[in-house]
Structure 1
Amino acid sequence: MQRVTITLTEDLATELDLFMARSGADNRSEAIRDLVRRALLARPDAPPEAPCLAVMSCTVDHGLRNLGARLAQRRLDTHDHTLAALSVPLDHTTSLEIEVTRGTLASVTRTAEAQFLERGVAHGTLALIPVRDDGARHAHDHGHGAPGHAHSHTRVQAGFGGTEA
């Protein structure tokens, strides 16, 4: 085995100890190995270029190193992938941030992991939804004389294997 040293906040260490008590882990190393193993297993086994939608949520301490402004700038820099963003104020400095984005599995995962590693970001969660673009462009007649705009549809898939939900 390889030895790795980590630093935890007091609150996170307390949560880890509670997890140990509930799970029956004998020590922190065993508990951390279990949590890391589970996190790695939860990642989808799909090609990095697989298209998906992602729902990313986390709490953000806006009083820390201009963090809120940096995260907002990242959303602006990736405006072509951001479908929606919601910021819910929780107190005078903390908010719950929720983003819906689209892209490849690799790009949305990389973005989320970078955000979750930021100091002042906590409780990060990423939910992935496998999709495909049906590619068929069409327009709808809306009945008021004006032609509808041409568009295609995003189809939700059952999994990253490609079958529709």
Structure 2
Amino acid sequence: MSALVLPLSPRVSLRQDIFRSIIASTTPSRVSGPGLRRTKVCLRTCCAVGPGGGVLDRPTTIGLPGFDLGKSTIRQRPRFYRVMLHNDDFNRREYVVKVLLKVLDNFTMEDAINCMQEAHTNGVACLVSCPQEDAEKYCEGLRVNGLISTIEPAGNSGGNSGNGGPEAS
């Protein structure tokens, strides 16, 4: 296959001339067979005319009023709440462990027994420290099953409250 080299024109850049020779060498020169035809390439859309070739200018950024592109937003962690289980004289210990396993995510049998025993001996036990929405869901689940539970704000904003209880994720 021979490459067709077009003569250099003073009005055409070197890049356009190289592009023309590549196109001429890769496209078929004759129509052979039904349905085959020569493709036409518009050089104005493929290569930019003038100095710099096909390099685009840097786009301008439009600043919106009240919005700074230089500042990054910092997301704050949601405030954490403790779910507290209170001792009562009505429910058996086995039932309390069963409800804790049913309502609270990520609770093992050992966690449920320890929390039940702490509530029995101290009168109250911290079950979990989590965001407010989860704490309300857990508290409501415990109350529906007949246990006495409350939520209270944790001393810190995020993380474990230091009670040894498991943390909900």
User: Please, what TM-score do these two structures have when normalized by structure 2?
Assistant: 0.33
Between Structure 1 and Structure 2, the one with more strand by share is: 1
Name the larger-Rg structure.
2
